[in-house]
Amino acid sequence: MNEINEPLQNLEEWEDFLKVRYPEDQKGQSEIKPFQAIDSNKKQEEFRNYEVDARPTVREFYRLNHRFQTFDFVQAKRREFLSLNRRKMGVWEAMEYLNTLVDDSDPDTDLSQLEHLLQTAEQIRQDGHPRWFILTGLIHDLGKMLCLYGEPQWAVVGDTFPVGCAYSERIVFHQFFADNPDSREPKYQTRLGIYEEGCGLDNVCLSWGHDEYIYQVVKDHLPQEGLYMLRYHSFYPAHKEGEYTHLMNEQDRKMFEWVRAFNPYDLYTKSHARPNVKELRPFYEDLIAEYLPAKLSW
Ligand SMILES: [Fe+2]
Ligand SMILES: [Fe+2]
C-alpha cells in the first residue's frame, strides 16, 4: 500500500473518528424528527478537541483530502467515473467484489465490507422500515469499490463538502484548506461561490467520493428518499452540522430528514453481532431483484 497517499490503516479509521465526533444519542436516534445541528451550543474549543485527539493517520488523511479535493479535481473524477463503463455487475456480485478490498483490518474483530452492509440493512429491517430503505442500507457503501480501481483513500471516503464556494468553518480540520489551491481563487471563496442562493444540491458539486458514485449507479431505480441517503450520507457538514442550507431548496430540506434518519444505521451498528451471510442471502437477493436490474453499469 502506498503510505504517502494511503495514511489510514483501513477505511474504518475514518468512520471510527466520526463515531467519536458524533456520539450516539441515547434514544430515538432513528426517528424522523426536526433538525437540530448537533453541536449548536458547543464552544469552538470543544469542537477542536476532536482534532487534537484524532490519530495521526486520521489527521494526515484529512490533510490530503482537504489539500487535493479541488473543484477541478471533482470535475475530472466525475468525467472519469460517471460514464459508468467499467463493469456490469449485479448488487450481490458488487458486494463480493467490494469484499476483496484488502486493508489492515483485523479479521477477528473488524467487520468485512459485506458484513457492514448486511448489518446496516438488518438493523433497518428490524426497526420495521420500508423495503427500499433496507435496500438502501445494503448498498450504501458499494461506491467504496473506487478503492479497488486504485483511487486513494482521500478520494473515496471522508466527510464531503461543496467545492466552488467557501468552506464551512465547521468542517473538521478546516485549517488544512489553506493548502487547497481553491482557497486562493476568490470566485470560489464567497459564501455562494459559483452557486446561487437556494439553487438546490443537485446543482452543487460535492467533494468526490463513494456517495456520488453509488448514487449515479442506481439513480433510476430507488425512491428519492433512498437516493438522498446514498448521495449525501457522508455530507456531515450539512446533515450533522446544519451548514450549507443556503444552497438547499425546499426538496433538499425535506429529504435531509431521511438522510439524518439513515445516519445512525451507518455509524452505530458496527458493534452489533456478525450477520450470517449465507442465511441472509436469499432475503436480500429477492429484495435486490424487486428494485434493481440483474446487472448494473458501474
Ligand atoms: Fe459510506
Ligand atoms: Fe457505511
- Distance from the CA of 95 to the center of ligand 2, in angstroms? 13
Query: Per the structure block, which three cell numbers stand in for 181?
Result: 489551491
- Distance from the CA of 142 to the center of ligand 1, in angstroms? 8
Distance CA 110, CA 240 (A): 25
Residue 206 forms beta bridges with which residues? 162
Query: Per the structure block, which three cell numbers stand in for 17?
Result: 473518528
- Distance from the CA of 141 to the center of ligand 2, in angstroms? 5
Ligand nearest to the CA of 117: 2
pTM of the predicted protein model: 0.93
- Distance from the CA of 182 to the center of ligand 1, in angstroms? 25
Helix axes 12-21, 44-53, angle to 10 degrees: 150
Specify the pLDDT at position 28. 44
Instruction: Give the HSE-up count for residue 85: Cα atoms under 13 Å, Cβ half-sphere.
Output: 4
Ligand nearest to the CA of 214: 1
185 within 8 A of 38, measured Cβ to Cβ: no
In this predicted model, what pLDDT tens digit does every residue of 172-225 receive, in sequence order? 999 999 999 999 999 999 999 999 999 999 999 999 999 999 999 999 999 999
Distance CA 92, CA 83 (A): 22
Distance CA 71, CA 182 (A): 7
In this predicted model, what pLDDT tens digit does every residue of 117-130 receive, in sequence order? 999 999 999 999 99
55 within 8 A of 15, measured Cβ to Cβ: no
